[in-house]
Amino acid sequence: MRVCLNFVILYVCIALIFGDKESEEDANRKRIIEQLTRTRTVLLDDYHLVTRQIATDVYMYRNYRTVSVVFYPIMRDVTEARFTFQSEELHLNNIGSCDPQEVIINIKHGSYPAVNPDGYSFPKDFIDPAIREPVHTQELLSDAKNRTYTIKNPKPGNWYALIYIKWEDPRTQKVEQQGLVAKCQTILYTDLQVQREENIELIDCYTGITELNYDELPAHFKCMSVDNVEPISLNVTIVNTSAANKELFVRVQALSFPTEENFLIYCAFNPRANNIQTITFTPNPNAWHYIHIGEATGNVSKIADCESYYTRTDVDEIINHTVIDLMRDDKGRFFTFDYGLPTTDLQDATSLVNITSSEIKTLRFKVNQFLDIGGSLTIASSLLMSLKYYMGYRREFAKDALLAFTEDNQFFKAVICMDIGHASIPLESGHCRYNDKVKPALFVLNSTDSESIYDKTFIPYPDSGTWYLTFRIFCDQVVCPCRTSDNGTKYYVDTSVDKEGEGAVLEGNDTRVGTSECNATIVLTISSMSCVGGKCSNHGSCLLNTFGGLVMSFCSCSAGYGGWDCSDNSRMDSRVYMLVSILLLTLSNLLFFFSIYVAVIRTYYTEAMMYAFTMIFSTFYHACDAPSQVAYCIIKGNILQFGDFYCGLMSFWVTLLAMSIIGDKFRSSLQLIGAIIIALLTTWNMHSIVSFLLPVAIGVGLLLLSWYLDYRKIRSLRYPRTYYIRYLPLGIILVSVGLICYAFLQTEQNYKIVHSIWHMIIALSVVFLLPDVKRGSDVNAFLPSQDYFKLSFYKLFQRSHRPTAVD
């Protein structure tokens, strides 16, 4: 009968645990649906609803594992993209209330936004975010109010939103116990509506616009360029110019409609003076181009004259310019591939680019949307120098003058530009020009300095599209017998070479013409891997995060390190501080020796074993859970964590049973039932308050019930009066203080102190809670009795009596 009762109790507990979990999930799901039905999409006139996400979970930013991503596709011919956001809090229990959270939304075209919400800086080899596609940032509160964000003339293609709750320093955050605080979940509703320009005339980029009536302005046109980097000469002819009283402007932009800030060409002309204009510009190869023509307003003098775009005959445009498509070398893993010049070598995709000063070479490759944007792209380039250069070879001289350039000792500068969607022209100043836009080059390699013949950059989450790398070299055309010239911008060799004896130095400031033609070989590597080069320095793990069909790699840092590649130790505690913390958390468990001692002398042997296991598992768990610099793990950390929580709960359970007035056989049965139920609870959710309250509440209930029944039966207290007026109140006070510290006072910053106090308080409370009734009333509660070593427990270690033949 007793066995059947035990199984019934076990079944009921399992049903309550897992049934409550499933019912809670169902209730939360229904609550989300009911709350979201109050959200209604408001479709504006002339707008088209493209996409919406009705229930995106939002979490506090810790790393890229805790971010959510929303994908927005935008088609061509869009003049306005209108993003709507509504965030609110779901209150999932009846405890407390949910405060609005500050939600951050980063929106970017072409790839995931690469941001650092936790304040760490990017590593030094990372590309400057300012030269990439801009990141649009929107901040809102989760107060169920609509927010809208509009982007004018967006680029067509895929846009990605990175969503998270504003970062807070975890060291200052409170450690909250599940079940004692409000359970809140931040959700986000978002949609995208677009407005398209329907009145667009399709033209031929290479024929131009003929017979455009002045009365029909403003007008929009679009045309498709061919797969070529050669400039386009766009002809514009205005008719009916008798009505013209203002100058006209012409704006040209690739992929999207031009604006006053974003354009390839922006110029003005007087149609009465000349109604036919020819404008030359460099297009995006194989792309749609949009032309906007209308009446110019404001100060027209600030706008460039269209006559200046009639012909572009300077050396940058007439130089020989070739485009080469690179070969993709896939590695069969997430975001792992190389690009290089076509080769049959299976082991190497490194490219050797041979170039002369009379040409420009462009290498292009493609980054695929969805498949390639979740890793980091690495571009490295170096000048291939002769062996003499690396051996410290100095240029020869004769008759106090440097010798002419040779193939071995020529000096030059290589400028490398990087663009997406088009190729720009490298300039000798170390910049890149694309039409009227000038920006710094990706690399400037100088053969006169061993530290600048090599450069490398990492590009996190590279944008999808066609990438262009353009190479050009410039020769030093002036040679002088000096160390530096041009205010130190050009460095030559050390000329302090002994002509007749060591120490002679060339003197004079005479210069002579160097060479105007040179050639070089540039070594180029383009590779993509997860995280940063496939790893996260030596202080983190490279992991993957998925959002539906979207995947991104990220670094999960450990041991106090941070940053994009886990190399930033600016917020890491000192080694002494970490050692002190781990010693506090581990050595504080030694106070359980006192609990074990008291339990043993009072003949509570089962309880003493549980206290011993609690001390052992807690000590080694905290030693393993420390930063890796000082951690010590005897077995896997998750096993130690389970043992710590399980033995801790079992210690409460067996102590309450020891305080109860029940028979030994019934107590042993309850100990076994409790061991099974607590194991299930710990496996289910060791951090939940239910896992702690359920066995403790049942134990307290059994304790009070047994005391009441015993008092009702014999009408007197079972334990000595000193236990009720001295030891029991003191033990209850200690347990209460410990629980308050554990549940309400812990933060990440004070965890090692408060949790150590919790260890010591709980260990001491056992000393006062265990009743000393198995011995006489006249013994000291903290000292063994005189006949202690004659107790039955020690007979286990005595030689057993064997009967003899005489017996």
Structure confidence at residue 504 (pLDDT): 37
| Structure confidence by residue, pLDDT tens digits, 615-657 | 999 999 999 988 777 888 998 988 999 999 999 999 999 999 9
Tell me: pLDDT of 492 over 50.
no
Tell me: pLDDT of 405 over 60.
no
Tell me: pLDDT of 458 over 90.
yes
Tell me: pLDDT of 309 over 80.
no
Tell me: pLDDT of 403 over 50.
no
The residue that leads in pLDDT, 283 or 95, is 283
Q: Across the strands, what pairs with 20?
A: none
Mean per-residue pLDDT, 491-513: 42
Is 575-794 in the same CATH topology as 45-196? no
What is the rounded average pLDDT for all residues in the chain?
A: 81
| Structure confidence by residue, pLDDT tens digits, 248-270 | 889 999 999 998 888 998 988 88
Q: What percent of the chain has pLDDT over 70?
A: 80
Which tokens in the block code for residue 323?
């485009």
User: pTM of the entire structure?
Assistant: 0.79
Per the CB < 8 A criterion, the answer to whether 136 and 192 are in contact is no
Structure confidence at residue 401 (pLDDT): 44
| DSSP characters over 28-80 | HHHHHHHHHTT----PPTT-EEEEEEEEEEE-B-SSGGG-EEEEEEE-TTEEE
Structure confidence at residue 794 (pLDDT): 54
Delimit the domains of the chain by residue range. 45-196, 201-312, 321-389+402-480+511-529, 575-794
Amino acid identity at 289:
H
Q: What percent of the chain has pLDDT over 90?
A: 36
Structure confidence at residue 686 (pLDDT): 81
| DSSP characters over 206-241 | TT-EEEEEGGG-SEEEEEE--S--S-EEEEEEEE-G
Residue 795 pLDDT grade (very low, low, confident, very high; cuts 50, 70, 90): low
| Structure confidence by residue, pLDDT tens digits, 98-128 | 889 999 999 999 999 999 998 888 888 899 8
Separation of CA 752 from chain center: 27
CA angle 125, 321, 453 (to 5 degrees): 30
Structure confidence at residue 375 (pLDDT): 93
Structure confidence at residue 714 (pLDDT): 83
Fold of 45-196: Jelly Rolls (2.60.120)
Mean per-residue pLDDT, 770-778: 73
Tell me: pLDDT of 402 over 60.
no
Tell me: pLDDT of 213 over 90.
no
Structure confidence at residue 799 (pLDDT): 56
Per the CB < 8 A criterion, the answer to whether 554 and 545 are in contact is yes
The total of other beta-carbon atoms located within 10 Å of residue 112's CB is 25
Answer left, alpha or beta for residue 98, where phi above 0 means left and psi between -120 and 50 means alpha.
Answer: beta
Amino acid identity at 424:
S
Fold of 575-794: Rhopdopsin 7-helix transmembrane proteins (1.20.1070)
C-alpha radius of gyration, the chain, whole number: 39
Structure confidence at residue 494 (pLDDT): 42
Q: Lowest mean pLDDT: which of 157-161, 473-477, 707-711?
A: 473-477
Secondary structure (3-state) at 623: helix
Say which residue the tokens 């289910």 belong to. 684
**CATH of region 321-389+402-480+511-529, choose from 3.20.20.60, 3.40.640.10, 2.60.120.380, 3.40.50.300:** 2.60.120.380
Structure confidence at residue 103 (pLDDT): 95
- State the Cα–Cα distance between residues 449 and 429, nearest whole angstrom: 17
- State the Cα–Cα distance between residues 150 and 192, nearest whole angstrom: 10
Tell me: pLDDT of 569 over 80.
yes
b vs e for 585-614, b when ≥16 Cβ sit within 10 Å of the residue's Cβ?
bbebbebbebbbebbbbbbbeebbbbbbbb
